[in-house]
Amino acid sequence: MPNLVIMSRIGKLPVKLPETVKAVFSDGKIVISGPKGELSQDVRSEIEIQIKDGEVNVLRKKDDKFSRALHGLYRSLITNMVEGVLNGFEKTLKLIGVGYRVREEKDKLVLSVGFSHDVDVMFEKGLTLKADGNDIIKISGIDKARVGEKAATIRRIRPPEPYKGKGIRYIDEIIRLKAGKAGKTGAEAGA
């Protein structure tokens, strides 16, 4: 069988830069800046970045398995960086349960989610946390990974339980509820 070179389907696609977004690659680091801010990403030595004619091309220097994996990864990271500095990212969480609520204080969100105490979620630089009403939390920022990580951290405080669905969930998340215990039957019911 001949030795075939398979290119990453994601990695070989160029990333188009809108007019308001600028990209610079030097010393193993790509910096992308736009109207919402600036993001940077270190690039491994197996990958080469070319910026010309309003496009970013990701090239790999070797053809081993690891380099092929990095090829698509860096292309996706750069695409997310461009999208982040242009439009930003947002995740929305919903609190489901009787008495579950969120309120904003000066430097934190305070969650009441069925514990004997309130849970504080501190604000972070580069992220915006907002309480929208009593039961909605909006997390937004320019870095997709940090927005997703903060949303997952907040969800982990009280994940949705499988019987009634109470807890913190993503706004578009669907929870499959389990059936509860069946009622007593047969001889046990009459006893």
Whether 105 and 70 share a structural domain? no
Q: Per-residue pLDDT tens for 6-21? A: 555 788 889 999 999 9
Residues 115-124, mean pLDDT to the nearest whole number: 94
Residues 101 and 150 in one domain: yes
- Domain span at residue 67 reads 15-86
pLDDT digits (tens, 9 = 90+) for 25-76: 999 999 999 999 999 999 999 899 999 999 999 998 888 889 888 998 999 9
Residue 184 located in a structural domain:
no
- Domain termination site, one of 64, 86, 108: 86
Residue 183 lies in a domain: no
Last residue of a domain, one of 67, 86, 105: 86
Domain with residue 136: its CATH number is 3.90.930.12
Residues 102 and 56 placed together within one structural domain of the fold: no
Within a domain: 5: no
Domain total of the chain = 2
Q: What is the DSSP string of 119-152?
A: EEEE--TTEEEEEETTTEEEEEES-HHHHHHHHH
pTM exceeding the 0.85 threshold for the entire prediction: no
